[in-house]
Structure 1
Amino acid sequence: MQCENPSVCDVDSKSRGWWLVADRLGATASFLCAVHCALLPFVIALLPLVGLEFLADHAFERGFVLFAAALATTTLVTGNRKHRQRLPMVLAVPGLILLVLGVTVVDLSAHTTLHSIMVTCGGLLVASAHVVNLRLVYRAHALQHAH
């Protein structure tokens, strides 16, 4: 596979590489967030014993959700420009809504179980959106460079 204009292909390759790393980071972070939220009610008493009590802090959780939302929005919008498929956004939007509602509205009430369910499902949806986005970007790139 030879590029007609190497300077353009190098720039495209570099920018594409950065976005793919960001998408992978988003998928991993969202999945870990979902695992964290699912397990937190069961291990909350053990966290101080192993020096990880910050994981149960609401400020940490809100900051993490803010980071995940910004990363997801950026990578999914960029991916959409390349592959023009709606599925990643269809997965991400309800996931982000569940995450934000889970760490704001529901977190302020005493509904720990509902909070855990909402943020776990939200994290899994956002992680799924990143994985689908990665596959679609790879497919679009392969089709673009197929001769």
Structure 2
Amino acid sequence: MLDRLGITATSLCALHCILLPVLLPLLSLFGLEAWASHDVEHAFLFATLALGSFALFSGFKNYHKKIYPFYLLFLGGFIYWHKHSVDESVQPLMILLGAGLLVAAHVVNLKLCNGCRSCHDDDGCATP
């Protein structure tokens, strides 16, 4: 369930970043321009990474003992976090790449966990 929540949070974060230039004029009409700040983006990304870390650690500890989903999560977070350090024309690509890696980390974790639910001690998975 945490992986599905992480996928949803990441997707919403990416959608927010991609649609922000279109919605920015509307936000100011409703007094919600604070939602367009870098601090809000970073806070949401940090929450997404914290949730992802918890979900991946749970799968790691209880099921599969594989570390590579963490690589995907943290690489995606790193790319996403640094999207403002590149030209604006490259930012949508960084958003999609970072969000894609975050979602991929959750999908891989889900597949590893589901594959280990019925496994035995001798094939490398933890006993559920």
Instruction: State the TM-score, normalized to the length of structure 2.
Output: 0.74
Give the aligned partner of residue 58 of structure 2.
78
RMSD between aligned alpha carbons?
2.4
Q: 1:120 aligns with which of 88, 92, 96?
A: 96
Q: Point out which structure has higher relative CO (alpha carbons under 8 A, 6+ apart).
A: 1
| Deviating more after overlay: 94-103 vs 77-86 | 77-86
Residue segments in structure 1 that go unaligned for 5+ positions in a row? 1-20
Instruction: State the TM-score, normalized to the length of structure 1.
Output: 0.66
**Cα pair 1:26 1:130 within 8 Å, conserved:** yes
What is the one-letter code of the residue matched to 1:58?
A: H
Residue segments in structure 2 that go unaligned for 5+ positions in a row? 121-128
Give the aligned partner of residue 91 of structure 1.
72
Identity %: 35
How far apart are the structure 2 equivalents of 1:135 and 1:26? 15
**Cα pair 2:49 2:73 within 8 Å, conserved:** no
Deviations 1:60-98 (A, max 9, x none): 111011111212222212212321334523422320110
Q: Is 1:46 the counterpart of 2:26 in the alignment?
A: yes
Q: Is 1:140 the counterpart of 2:121 in the alignment?
A: no
Tell me, what secondary structure is at the counterpart of 1:142? coil
